[in-house]
């Protein structure tokens, strides 16, 4: 049985998965669990229960963050590369 936090930790070690933004959804309100989730790689947190509107809004934010990250220039020192479609 793989916990979500364990999956996020694994994703951060895999080059092809490490830049995928992850949203954490849980009914747990424990601050320590949230901190563990963010440390494991979550960038957004959605507490359960949530409404359809809250889910849609959070997913839009996640997609926007993924697009921004994907199109972020790669910089090494004074040299930068941008990705064009």
Q: pLDDT digit string (tens) for 35-74?
A: 999 999 999 999 999 999 999 999 999 888 876 666 666 5
Q: For residue 78, is pLDDT > 60?
A: yes
CATH architecture of 4-81: 3-Layer(aba) Sandwich (3.40)
pLDDT tens for 25-36 read: 988 888 898 999
- Give the chain as a 3 state SS string: CCCHHHHHHHHCCCCCCCCCCEEEEECCCCHHHHHHHHHHCEEEEEECCCCHHHHHHHHHHHHHHHHHHHCCCEEECCEEECCCC
């Amino acid at each position: 049985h793989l916990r979500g936090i364990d999956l996020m930790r694994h994703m951060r070690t895999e080059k092809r998965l490490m830049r995928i933004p992850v949203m954490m959804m849980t009914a747990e309100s424990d601050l320590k669990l949230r901190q563990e989730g963010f440390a494991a790689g979550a960038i957004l947190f959605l507490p359960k229960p949530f409404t359809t509107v809250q889910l849609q809004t959070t997913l839009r934010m996640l997609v926007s963050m993924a697009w921004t990250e994907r199109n972020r220039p790669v910089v090494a020192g004074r040299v930068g590369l941008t990705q064009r479609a």
